[in-house]
Amino acid sequence: MTGWSCLVTGAGGFLGRRIICLLLKEKELKEIRALDKAFRPELREEFSELQKKTKLTMLEGDILDEPCLKTACQDVTVVIHTASVIDVFGAVHRQSIMNVNVKGTQLLLEACVHASVPVFIYTSSVEVAGPSSYKEVIQNGHEDQPLESTLSAPYPHSKRLAEKAVLAANGWTLKNGGTLYTCALRPMYIYGEGSPFLSATVNEALDNRGILPSTGKFSTVNPVYVGNVAWAHILALRALQDPRKAPSVQGQFYYISDDTPHQSYDAFNYSLSKEFGLRLDSSWSLPLVLRYWVAFLLEAVSFLLSPIYTYRPPFNRHTVTLSNSTYTFSYKKAQRDLAYKPLYSWEEARQKTMEWVGSLVDRHKETLKPKTQ
């Protein structure tokens, strides 16, 4: 496709930045529009330096601002929608999550119709499928299994509704008479340099004598490296632009994993940080069943106090379920339809992530040094 253009929402985020870096290598791409609510000064500088043959336009705007979305979509060929509120701890108000993740997606789809954008790729989540219970066991799951999360927690619920809206929009008639084609990608837990969850885990350990917080010793998961998730988005847009591949991709969703070993969250965090002296928490913890019901009671207390006081429990049923389930998925369908193969091996991904973890440790040490006059 000659002289095409691409809009990336959530462009300043952990995944959005990586997608933009890969997009800059695509042939015949004349412009990338990077949309986010705000760009940090260092990110503006980074994007400015990346700009070479391809024009990179930074747009600051809200995903709920209809005029902004219509302007952003004008003369665009592909939309990659990564913008989302990711919250598993109950830190964000439910309605805010629903507004951004569901209503924002619906408004963006409508803007695509108005601006006659033919390709829409949605960054969904494995949480659309589950786990719905810590007792549920899925190993090397695949797209043909009828899995759907029954959790009422706002994040998985909102992602499920948004994904359904995106896939239902496949085949919509555009304003110019063309057709909208959509697909959704469901990554596993995403790790890598800049990961907000991994950063929080490491920093918490550094503030607690090097003891890593236990995030899931009973889980079995297959995390996916951010560079491989970004690569899957590039392959999805290529497939939807290819008349030979597009029919098998339109209206489909894909699990995106890679060759990262299946392991618990605790073991995974330890493998990336043990070189820097961080260690697992060996203290006694509540049995899983009891922890789940304590979470329920804490949520009830939070609800009862909500009219007069905002209480955020240290954990909830959603986090207990997520961090203690056996839930792994294969990327065979993406391999078949998108020609997806991880761009980074486990060893490469591990090395890059460890180097970044090392930088967090060094930064923490610098803050502890006494300041001299």
The CA-atom distances, in angstroms, between 357 and each of 166, 202, 258 are 36, 7, 21
What does the DSSP assignment read for 252-266?
EEEEE--SPPPB-HH
The domain limits of the chain are 4-196+224-261+328-345
Q: What is the pLDDT of residue 42?
A: 87
The CATH H-level (homologous superfamily) assignment of domain 4-196+224-261+328-345 is NAD(P)-binding Rossmann-like Domain (3.40.50.720)
Q: Could you report the per-residue pLDDT of 62-82, keeping only the tens digit for each?
A: 999 999 999 999 999 999 999
Question: Over the chain, what is the mean pLDDT?
Answer: 93
The first and second tokens of residue 117, run together, are: 């954008």
Say what the pTM is.
0.94
Q: Which residues contact 129 (CB under 8 A, 6 or more apart)?
A: 138, 141, 145, 147, 148, 149, 186, 255, 329
The first and second tokens of residue 79, run together, are: 């939309």
Q: What is the pLDDT of residue 44?
A: 86
Q: What is the pLDDT of residue 2?
A: 60
What does the DSSP assignment read for 333-348?
HHHHHH----SS-HHH
The first and second tokens of residue 34, run together, are: 């990077």
Q: What is the pLDDT of residue 372?
A: 54
> Which residues belong to the active site?
159
Q: CB–CB of 32/9 below 8 Å? A: no
∠ CA 203-207-213, nearest 5°, is 65
Q: From the first residue on, what is the mean pLDDT of each consecutive set of 10 residues in the chain (373 residues)?
A: 86 95 92 93 84 86 96 96 92 93 98 97 96 91 92 92 98 96 98 95 94 86 97 97 94 97 95 95 83 91 89 88 93 97 97 97 85 55
Cα–Cα distance, 266 to 212 (Å, whole number): 8
Cα–Cα distance, 174 to 179 (Å, whole number): 5
